[in-house]
Amino acid sequence: MTLPPSRRTALLRLLAGGTFACLSLAALASEDADRARRALERGEIRPLDAVLRAAREAVPGDVVAVDLKHDDGHWLYKLRILGADGKRRTLKIDAGSLRILDEDDDD
C-alpha cells in the first residue's frame, strides 16, 4: 500500500514528534537519576536499602513501588506497600533522616 505524499509527510511528522517526545522523557529521567545520585553522594539522602528497611519496620508487607521526589528543598521517598492483609498503603519517608512523615491506607 502506497500513501499519498501528503499522508506520508503527516505520518513522518507524527513519528518524528513521537520520537522527540520519547527522547525528551528519557533525558528527563536521566537528569532525575543524576540529581538523585549526586544527593546520595553528598549524604542528602539515604541509600534505598536503608529506606526499604525503615519502611518494612513501619509497615510490614511487600514494597511494590518507590518514588524519590525533591520538593521545597527536601528529598522524600514515597513507597507503596502491599500488606499481608491485602491492603495497599502509601508511606512517605524523609530521604535524609528516614523519619516516617505520613502513612495512608489506599482504599
C-alpha neighbours within 13 Å on the C-beta side of residue 21 = 6
Torsion of CA 34, 40, 43, 44, to 10 degrees: 70
Q: What value does the mean pLDDT take over residues 47-70?
A: 90
Report how far residue 14's alpha carbon sits from residue 10's, in angstroms, rounded to the nearest whole number: 6
Say if CB 83 and CB 103 are below 8 A apart.
no
Lowest mean pLDDT among 17-21, 40-44, 96-100: 17-21
Domain ranges of the chain: 1-42, 44-107
Output the nine-digit C-alpha cell for 34: 543524576
| Model pTM score | 0.66
The CATH architecture to which 44-107 belongs is: Roll (3.10)
User: For the chain, what percent of residues have pLDDT higher than 90?
Assistant: 36
Query: For residue 89, which of 54, 53, 65 has the smallest C-alpha distance?
Result: 65
